[in-house]
Structure 1
Amino acid sequence: MRKKFLVYLVSIVAFFGPFTQTIYTPMLPEIGQQFQASQDAINLTVSIYPLFFAIMQLVYGPLIDKYGRRRILLIGFLFFLLATVGAAMSSSVQMLILFRALQACGGAVGSVAALTVIGDLFEGKSRGRAMGIYQMLVALGPGLGPIFGGFVGQHYGIHRIFWALFGITLVLWFILLLFLPETKTKASGVDRFRIRQLSNVLTHRVGLAIVVLGSVQYSVFYLLLILLPNILTDLYKLSPSQTGLMFLPISLCVVIGSLVGGRIQEYFDLKKLLITMAFLNMATILLFAVVASVSLPILTLSLSLFGIFLGISLPLQTTLLANELPHHRATSTGVYNFFRYVWMTIGPVVGSFFYRFGFQMEFYACVIIFACALVFIYRQLFIAADVLKKETAK
């Protein structure tokens, strides 16, 4: 029971990273009016967040491995709290941009620390279930953020969004202070940091395969989220409120898939299961490209299936990463998250540019890229492993 409480505790901290990224997106027009700022400046307050969030993954990983999980998590989350106060007191769009970047710098500690603590506390099959809980809560963040921020902002004003966020997370910080123990042991961490530790995950055959898969999946996932409103408007002339509801199936299915993925890995070979789920995830992208223009229910079904298989594969990746790189667990997690969040930003930018040529062609291209990535991942997980075994046997 104690371990399960800690899983939920650190996963909730990680939840506030993506939750904060999207928290005030429904209020963007009002923010522009209040600060008398251009649309580009207002968009920058949102887009700057994932950039710093990604960079700080590389910073927190080595720090957590060296100085421990509890200390760095408390310091990083306290930094997030102070930056949230700054965002709440911002009187110009320039101040808001600055404190949003600082929010990301502090909030980024949650995802690295949570996965590392879970890796410390659990082994084997139980680790998979705990990773499923983590992925479920993190997946809820981007969807619940706009709902919370839209309600608070509409009734109490824009600045109250950040004050409400500060109040909630301050309580969470004190809970961490009181109940989170240090989970680092001599076997799970290192005392000295060397720069090559950052490249360990990229030179490790399984680590590199997981980074490639996570990068491709997040790139396509966020491309789909960004383009979906345009696709629905162009094909089915949906209103903004109707378009918003279309995000629910994919969000809920990612959550459900994460829970399923945390449990079914107990009964299958982890690497084979990961390849299978990744292949099915790729197949649903092809399905979406083919059937999106047929009817709205079929489009919704394809989105739901995409969410399910994506959700299932996410805890498989983090479990496998924790199993394969136990001595640099936080650093490898930071590198993995860094590439995921970078491609989460790059994918939609590139995809939005090519949308003018038709979304079907765009997603067909995604399928081809995904297929090439799967060939590489399969070679890393199985063929390279077999070659290594034969060489070792000699």
Structure 2
Amino acid sequence: MSTYTEERPATDNRPPSTVRYALILGGLTAFGPLSIDMYLPALPTMSGDLRASSSTLQLTLTAFFIGLALGQLVIGPLSDAFGRRRPLLIGITIYATASVLCALSPSAELLIAARGLQAIGASAGMVVARATVRDLFGGTAMTRFFSMLILVTGLAPILAPVVGGQVLNWTSWRGVFLVLTGFGVLLLIVAALALPEPLPPWRRTPARLGAAARTYLALLRDRAFLGYALASGLVLAGLFAYIAGSSFVLQDVYGLSPQQYSLVFGANGIGIVLLGQVNGRIVGRFPERVLLRTGLLVGAASALAMVLGLSLGLGLIALLPPLFLIISSIGLTMPNITSLALTDHPRTAGAASALLGVLQFVLGGVASPLVGLGGTSSALPMALIMASFGLLALLVYSLMTRRGAAQPLPATA
């Protein structure tokens, strides 16, 4: 692994408050999870209000995922060319405007279109947040910061359905999108006032379509980057399989109440946060690659143990402990894999961040329908899919990222 650390002019600003940056950038990366999960409890009500079938309303999720993918591919190179702030502020403005359109949509078709536009705006926060971390930090300092972001990004998908459910106690589903509008406006103000430009002009790249295409092609040809990106996507595919199948498995198959399911879901999410903080404390004593390999091994081994236990008919005791280890291990894998993927690309961090995010969502999006095809009358299909993705992630990592063995990255900021 290259230990390249780019020199900065003496006038370069350094981040005055790591906590402040963590809160702002964590909020930006939370755009996606909040926008995906907050309105899910309202889908049955929306179906009646908009006179649309449930399958039609599912297209609001599809449109959002497509918008995230396309938006990241466009905004990544733009942030490398014009700096991080301008594309970010424009993106958040688009997000807030589209959220208002979602709240006012009189039909499912207009809601689907507004959701696609909302996703394009949300993608700016997700791309720029990762790229900004690469601009401000290097080496183990970057990994520690990504571990700190887990505090925010790990809790967002857990809290989003809960917040959405509470909002529905006071207002309709349109109120959920107005809350998202307020979240966007708040982050727009905070980013405008408290987030200085982290990318100086001398490190920017020309804004040309051909140059952007060549950058993406070069990234795809980078064996190590592609290996980290694919492995991270496969890890998240396992998480998406869990999200898609766990409610049916735990409630329909094993008879857990909605409250008990929420406790299990929340405990697994807290596991991600806790292990992410452990990772931030021990990185530096152990190389990123060692910690990443450990996380992948724990996830894959736990998934295989879950498959074996369920095949033997052991019930919940074979499901819940391995499930906790699988989901918690993401707190160990994702900070290290993101840091390692971006570390060799300081001048194209926006494009690298975008491609990393696209591959994560594309591979993650494949997992949900696979769980449905496997059926929801047993926990075994979900377990098999999670184990398959976990083993593939470990295999891709082992075969494609051997360069640099386990050399620790320098702790630079």
Q: Secondary structure at the match of 2:154?
A: helix
1:366 and 1:295 map into 2 onto residues whose CA distance is: 17
- Which amino acid is 2:358 matched to? F
Q: Secondary structure at the match of 1:246?
A: helix
1:129 and 1:206 map into 2 onto residues whose CA distance is: 21
The answer to which of 128-137 and 65-74 deviates more is 128-137
2:182 and 2:376 map into 1 onto residues whose CA distance is: 44
1:368 and 1:100 map into 2 onto residues whose CA distance is: 32
Residue 244 of structure 2: aligned partner: 226
Residue 144 of structure 2: aligned partner: 129
Q: 1:190–1:262: structure 2 CA closer, same or farther, 3 Å change rule? A: farther
Q: Secondary structure at the match of 2:205?
A: coil
Residue 232 of structure 2: aligned partner: 214
- Which amino acid is 2:277 matched to? L
Q: TM-score, normalised on structure 2?
A: 0.87
1:372 and 1:166 map into 2 onto residues whose CA distance is: 39
Q: Secondary structure at the match of 2:357?
A: helix
Q: Give the deviation of 1:313 after TM superposition.
A: 0.6
2:147 and 2:404 map into 1 onto residues whose CA distance is: 26
Q: Within 5 Å, which residues of 2 pair with 1:1-394? A: 1-185=16-200, 188-193=203-208, 194=211, 195-292=213-310, 293-296=313-316, 298-355=318-375, 359-360=379-380, 363-364=383-384, 366-368=386-388, 370-382=390-402, 384=403
Cα shift readout 1:35-67 (whole Å, capped 9, x = no counterpart): 121111122223321221122211111111111
* CA contact 1:3–1:121 (8 Å) conserved in 2: no
Q: TM-score, normalised on structure 1?
A: 0.91
* CA contact 2:151–2:273 (8 Å) conserved in 1: yes
The answer to which of 36-45 and 353-362 deviates more is 353-362
Q: Give the deviation of 1:252 after TM superposition.
A: 1.3
- Which amino acid is 2:117 matched to? L
Q: Secondary structure at the match of 2:30?
A: helix
Question: Identity over aligned residues, as a percent?
Answer: 25
2:68 and 2:224 map into 1 onto residues whose CA distance is: 24
1:101 and 1:56 map into 2 onto residues whose CA distance is: 9
* CA contact 2:80–2:205 (8 Å) conserved in 1: yes
Structure 1: gaps (5+ residues)? 387-394
Cα shift readout 1:328-373 (whole Å, capped 9, x = no counterpart): 1110111011010011111111231123695425634653554344
The answer to which of 263-272 and 173-182 deviates more is 263-272
CA RMSD of aligned residues (A): 2.1
* CA contact 1:57–1:334 (8 Å) conserved in 2: yes
The answer to which of 181-190 and 149-158 deviates more is 181-190
1:233 and 1:138 map into 2 onto residues whose CA distance is: 26
Q: Give the deviation of 1:299 after TM superposition.
A: 2.5
Residue 392 of structure 1: aligned partner: none
* CA contact 1:22–1:146 (8 Å) conserved in 2: yes
If each structure's helix is expressed as a fraction of its own residues, which one has the higher value?
1
Q: Give the deviation of 1:283 after TM superposition.
A: 1.1
1:342 and 1:372 map into 2 onto residues whose CA distance is: 15
- Which amino acid is 1:119 matched to? R
* CA contact 2:302–2:325 (8 Å) conserved in 1: yes
Q: 1:68–1:20: structure 2 CA closer, same or farther, 3 Å change rule? A: same
